[in-house]
A and B are shown apart, each in its own frame.
Chain A
Amino acid sequence: MEIDGNTLVFIIVILFLFFSTPGGDGVSSQYEFNQLQRFKQQFQTEHDVFLNMTHTDNFRNITGFKLSYQDMLNNPLQNATYPLPGKGYDRWLPNQNYMVLPNEVIDTINSQVWNTSNGNTLNIFPPNITSTLLGKINVVSNSKYEKIRMPIPRFYEPANDFSEDIPPEGETYWSDWPSYGELHNVTFQHGEIAIQITHMNNLQNSNNYFRRNFINKESDRWKLLNLQIDFSDKTEKEKHSISSKAVYDIQRGRILSISQSSKFHSLFALPHYMSLQDDYDKEIFNDVKQLVDEFWNFTDYTDVMTMNDVQDAYDSANLKCEYMTFLQLEPWNQYTKDQIKLIDDELNWPLGRPVNLSSLPPINVVSGLLYSPDCGLRLAINDVKGKRYELKIMSIRTHLMFGIVLFAAQIYLLLTQMHHTNTPSMVNKISFYCFSMINLVDGSLATLYFVAASVVPELYLPLVISAFSCFILASIFEIRYLISIYASQVNEQNVGIANLLRGSTGIYDENRPRPAFIPDEGSIGGSLYGRFFFTLIIFTFLILSSISWPRQLRMIFEYILIFILNSYWIPQIFRNAVKGIPSRRERTRATNGGNRNQNKMPLLWSFVIGTTIIRSLPVIYVFTYSSNVFRHHKDVRFVVFLSLWLLFQISVLYSQDILGSRWFLPQHTIPEGYSYFKPLSNQYIVEHGGGTVENTVDCAICMSDVPIYIEEIPETHKVDQHTYMVTPCNHVFHTSCLENWMSYKLQCPVCRSPLPPL
């Protein structure tokens, strides 16, 4: 490409548009700049207060902690102001006078949740607990406790018009707004919970050599975690999700997580809420405070804040309750610390160390409590457990490799099937829709694998290999086969089913416009590929979006879809009936005839059975194996039903093979098929002219004479009618000549009008 002035200007404009979008902090107006400044400033001042806080100090003006539970009991309409008259800010005791939790909840935490190891630290807990834990959650109370009023500062609100530069002052309360309903409440009693734990690892920012900061410096005792908690009722109509930082006390196996938003700055509350008992709380307080401070300094907490953080904080303050989560892990006392270190190393960086990973116990939260101070909710969880993330990845990898083997087997079967039907007449008997359905499933699997490969980097290689093998199967072999099927069936377009049953593509008519352009495989391939990718994209989006639908709708969709996609032999059964393949006995009788190849069943039995097994194995696994990797529910009845359905289809196919493909149709509904072998009248010779010898015509293929049977001339009656063929357009060829030609194209060699397949 030649670069002239215009191109250069164009490129510069594009680059300008590209680089002039909101930069790192996402600020796009003066108003937003002020918002972000206020946001940072607020955190900065609260951090200063936090730095001066000791374990005997109360929270002062930290957002969300200005009021204690007792304050709300005293005056339910109390506004969160600082300083509150008559409130003691120089003392701290773990009770409801100072905390946002009621005494009852504090007692429960001390006696029932965090009770595994208090003063003693003899229990051993795994330091690395990256995992996804699954279990049940119960609502203990959603109306009993007083709700603590938490205001949202008004500077978070988006601007009303463009001229506005300064964000408004003041605060608003939920009670001032119209009702938000279930967003601020949990209305079900029993539900399911998933807790996803990831670590903030021990990193150092080595960019600045002289000011190195560390995070998780004491990683053998304390760790910062990221917790993603999702819980919902069984039908998934009501979903709640909490995403927050958490502190993990490795010595005692405790996890504390407090959600954070614009009305609740929980980062500064972690030290106080981690130490709920009097006797050793000073030590814990100082450790956690140091941990939080390290985190603050390491991440340059306020410096890297962006407009996104402002908007997220505002959104989650509006739409969600704040939750404090207290979890107690089950100790792994069967291991020593060295063994656990060895296990961790092996999981992180596998080298074949002598550890038995298969007997590794799950990460288990034996007891847990969720309390929402601003919504007055209390929830309890028990025995929420899950495998270590690395182990889970290993098991998914095994599954993927099994899937690759299945794909390879399917490719091999398809190749043998393609080899079996290598003439247009054979391909013509295969149903286009049968293979379209198979192809759709394979194609969308390939896309799903590609999507997954970008989501799960640990499994990139096996996922890409799966996607690749699947894609080869779908877009090269199956599409290739579909193209030849389509090409062999082009003649039959716009032909009624009755004519098809008769086996011809319509009565020959001189005046009927012959197709001026019969598409070749190239153009068919183009249109089929277009159609393939289009349906693929639509279908994949449908599947991806269906994952987030409510459970009931999702299940109905899934069952119907699986049922339809597993009916892939039905179109072939219809196709067989239309094409009218004779029964096995007639076929063996006809083998001494000329066209023995033309009467085989179109589908190989090894292909039919192999494909059915390959395609139903994953479904059977997902529906019958209760702890499958997809977390899919168990439903044996559906699998049995599906297997019976597939078995029914195969048995119908088999009966067509044995009894002839039209055995279930009443005799009178089957019209007479077109026969290439028939006597000719004398008039034919007169019209078309004979060959060099009497009572013969020229075969246009081999250019030699064809002796024909003419009704009016008895001398010709010893000619076997099976030695020549008469096309519907009244052209005569040798049987062997035309059969050879018809294995390439179903078109009359003389006039190009379509020929009914043999």
Chain B
Amino acid sequence: MSMEPPVGLTAMPVTKLAMITTLVVPLMASIANYKHIFLLQYDPFLQTYHQYYRLIIFQFCAINESDAVILALLWYLFRHLERLLGSHKYLTLIVLSWAYTTFVIWGLNLIWNSFLGQYQWLQWNNFTTGSLPIVLSLVHFYKEYTPQIYEWNIRLLGPRGGSTSNNDNKQEEKGAVQWQINDQFLLNGLVLLLLLNQGIAGILCGFISWMCGIFIDKGLLPGLDHWRIPFISHWISQGPPTRASVAMAASAATSTAAARASADAAIAVAGSSIANGTGPVSMPLRGSSATPTDTSNAGDDEPGADEPARPLGVQFLDTFRR
């Protein structure tokens, strides 16, 4: 596995689904003025109105726009997890996290309120909005299984720090503050923001969800080891995106003409190599498939393939470009 992650969401269907859900559902809900059905509170919705459907749907829509944006960014960062686990296992993990966090949070809330609920100021009334519990449960997996790639230091010197003199380095060291920051600091910052953004409920539910994540990982909450979501394996692609599958997906987007052209070019090169009587035939194939841009360039040179069929996305962009 290479150090740099693949760009974009190519061949990452679960991350794509999660990000689209995080952003589109709030948008649709606010256009339709139905955001309120995603609001979950113990009193009055659960206690008085018995609207238990809110428990099932509350993780699908963040009510604040800032939460929606932070969650979408976090889902994007979590694409490493999809790469690591494979789409099918990742989706299973998300669904398990959703179910366990919802049940655990609800159960603890019931227990808390049945013992302490008679005191109004002790009642645990508010829940989080959006997929915060799922995300916090995934944070454990992210921290556990993704390697830290690099780190750096930030040194904040005191006043008259570096520039004044070279002699009293000792004093300088005293006034300096040094922070060690690694490549996961963006994730840490976003999670912190997400928790603080939702107040005490955010911190409480976040902590519980993190615990859920640990328990799912350790097998205390069963399911991840042996169970997968059935019937969707054909819908989700073949697994973790490898370099080859990314290249395949990219080249599938180019035209048939370009593909034909690249095949022609490969044959031509192969023919010439055979004619020269040197080298194995497999060489040009590797050369032509290493980077998809090469194949599309090859298509341009080909006479008769001067108008490649443009896919809809390219047309859409061309509409603005031309």
Contact = CB atoms under 8 A, between A and B. Distances in A.
A415 B39 contact: no
Contact of B30 (A461, A521, A736): A461
B32 A401 contact: yes
A415 B30 CA distance: 28
Contacts of B37: 352
Contact of A352 (B30, B36, B307, B320): B36
Contact of B32 (A397, A476, A743): A397
A539 interface: no
A415 B32 contact: no
B300 to A, nearest CB: 14
A745 to B, nearest CB: 13
Interface in B214-247: none
A465 B24 CA distance: 14
Interface residues on A, range: 20 to 34
Contacts of B307: 740, 743
Nearest to A346: B36
A394 B33 CA distance: 9
B31 A401 contact: yes
Contacts, number: 45
Given A353-B49, A354-B49, A397 B315 contact: no
A371 to B, nearest CB: 42
Contacts of B32: 397, 401, 462
Contact of B319 (A404, A461, A480): A480
A394 to B, nearest CB: 7
Contacts of A740: 304, 306-307
Nearest to A481: B319
A418 interface: yes
Contacts of B31: 401, 404, 461-462, 465
B238 to A, nearest CB: 29
A477 B39 CA distance: 39
Contacts of A394: 33
A566 to B, nearest CB: 27
Interface residues of B, number: 22
Contact of A415 (B36, B312, B322): B312
Interface string B303-322: 01011001010011001101
Contact of B33 (A397, A419, A422, A480): A397
A350 interface: yes
Contacts of B319: 476-477, 480
A351 interface: yes
Given A521-B322, A740-B306, A350 B33 contact: yes
Interface in A416-472: 418-419, 422, 461-462, 465
B315 A418 contact: yes
Given A401-B31, A465-B31, A350 B36 contact: yes
Contacts of B141: none
Contacts of A743: 307
B33 A351 contact: no
A118 to B, nearest CB: 38
Nearest to B28: A401
A452 to B, nearest CB: 15
B30 A419 contact: no
A477 to B, nearest CB: 7
Given A401-B31, A465-B31, A352 B316 contact: no
Contact of B45 (A352, A397, A465): A352
B47 interface: no
Contacts of B51: 352, 354
Contacts of A401: 31-32
Interface in B31-55: 31-33, 36-37, 39, 44-45, 49, 51, 54
B301 to A, nearest CB: 15
Contacts of A418: 315
A730 B54 CA distance: 77
Contacts of B33: 350, 394, 397
Interface in B274-322: 304, 306-307, 310, 312, 315-316, 319-320, 322
Contacts of A461: 30-31
Interface string B169-184: 0000000000000000
A351 B36 contact: yes
Contacts of A353: 44, 49
Nearest to B320: A476
Contacts of A352: 36-37, 39, 45, 49, 51, 54
B315 A419 contact: yes
A397 B33 CA distance: 8
B317 to A, nearest CB: 12
Nearest to B38: A352
Nearest to B49: A354
Nearest to B48: A354
B189 to A, nearest CB: 31
A98 to B, nearest CB: 51
Interface string A358-392: 00000000000000000000000000000000000
A351 B322 contact: no
A264 B250 CA distance: 79
B127 to A, nearest CB: 14
A351 B39 contact: yes
A567 to B, nearest CB: 28
A736 B37 CA distance: 62
A561 to B, nearest CB: 30
Nearest to A702: B303
A742 B316 CA distance: 23
A669 to B, nearest CB: 37
Contacts of A354: 49, 51
B319 to A, nearest CB: 6
A612 to B, nearest CB: 23
Contacts of B49: 352-354
A354 B30 CA distance: 20
28 contacts: A350-B33, A351-B39, A352-B36, A352-B39, A352-B49, A353-B49, A354-B49, A354-B51, A394-B33, A397-B33, A401-B31, A404-B31, A415-B312, A415-B315, A415-B316, A419-B310, A419-B312, A419-B315, A422-B310, A461-B30, A461-B31, A462-B32, A476-B319, A476-B320, A477-B319, A521-B322, A736-B304, A743-B307
Given A461-B31, A465-B31, 12 more contacts: A350-B33, A350-B36, A352-B36, A353-B44, A397-B32, A415-B316, A418-B315, A419-B310, A462-B32, A476-B320, A477-B319, A736-B304
Q: Which 9 A-B pairs have the closest CB atoms?
A: A351-B36, A350-B36, A352-B37, A354-B49, A462-B31, A352-B36, A480-B319, A461-B31, A465-B31
